[in-house]
Amino acid sequence: MIRVAAAILLCALSLVPLIWMVATSFKPPAEYVSTSIALWPRAPTLEHYRALAETGMWRLGLNSIVVAAGTVALALLAALPAAYALVRLSLPRRFDAVFLAFVLVIKLAPPIALAIPLYQVLRAFGLLDTHLGLILVNQVHALPFAIWMLLGFVRDVPFVFEEAAMLDGAGLAKRMRDIVAPLLMPGLVATGVFVAIMSWNEFLFALLFIQTPSNFTLPAFIATLINEDETLWGRLSAMGLLASIPVLLAVGLVRRGLTREVAIDQH
């Protein structure tokens, strides 16, 4: 009982910032700058949501969707054959540890350290201020992560299925399409969700490589709500809430799908 109570308390405490953000998004400016602390708004308003709608927030949301979808598609298209080759080439299993260390080094490296060379590359190819350029630079983090995640899933695919297909004359492309990819579907979906979340939340590259406001993604747009004169807390909270909804929906839908796949496999 003590553990259950502690778990419930921790969950409740973790929800406080979320509840505060939701409440602030409905507060008029006079309330959220007040010195008195009140969780729920006394005079709820949709002023902040209307202001965001007038700024073309939905178009910026579409930009984020395009960049996230492109990042996921490119990462999976490159990661699947790479992970397959790494597994089927029978490399030492300690290679997993080496590759994980490589992924961690990339993740821990300050993104700003990569910004200058990436900027030069994008400018040389005329991809600055384009969503395609942002999709490509996102692969710096997305692709190694996707390969590492798929390594374990590919190892779980029995090679006997491919051997049987090879006896029937199936080539590599046919085996990948008809055997490996369907068996890896839960892993591909899970990897795609994680990569999509990484791309959806990516801020620095979007801020540095996108200059036209109409091409901003949501994280870059959120930064414009904080300036030297004021911080628009109401719009920040409203934008944070709206930007979180697609991610929560995607995770919920995928979780149900993955659970269904596991149940089918067990039966």
pLDDT in tens, 11-69: 888 888 888 888 888 888 877 766 666 777 888 888 889 988 888 888 899 999 999 99
Phi-psi region of 174 (alpha: psi -120 to 50; beta: other; left: phi over 0): alpha
The gap from C-alpha 215 to its chain's centroid, in whole angstroms, comes to 19
Same domain, 41 and 156: no
Q: Residue 52 belongs to what H/E stretch? A: helix 47-54
Same domain, 62 and 35: no
Binning pLDDT at 50, 70 and 90, where does residue 76 land?
A: very high
Q: What is the pTM of this model?
A: 0.84
Same domain, 129 and 206: yes
Same domain, 30 and 130: no
Q: Residue 215 belongs to what H/E stretch? A: none
Residue 174's domain comprises 57-266
Q: Are 138 and 199 in contact (CB under 8 A)?
A: yes
| Domain total of the chain | 2
> DSSP assignment, residue 180?
I
Return the higher-pLDDT residue of 242 and 91.
242
**How far is it, in rounded angstroms, from Cα 71 to Cα 131?**
10
**How far is it, in rounded angstroms, from Cα 139 to Cα 28?**
41
Same domain, 104 and 152: yes
Average pLDDT over residues 100-120: 81
**Domain assignment present for 3:** no
- Tokens 């901003």 belong to 216
**Alpha-carbon distance values, 247 to 181, 251, 253 (Å):** 25, 6, 10
Residue 191 has pLDDT above 80, yes or no: yes
Same domain, 66 and 196: yes
**Domain assignment present for 11:** no
CATH number at residue 72: 1.10.3720.10
Residue 261 has pLDDT above 70, yes or no: no
Average pLDDT, the chain: 83
**Domain assignment present for 179:** yes
Most confident of 94-103, 156-165, 219-228: 219-228
**Domain assignment present for 117:** yes
Same domain, 196 and 164: yes
- Tokens 């600055």 belong to 128
**Domain assignment present for 77:** yes
Cα angle, residue 176 at apex, residues 175 and 180 outer, rounded to 5°:
95
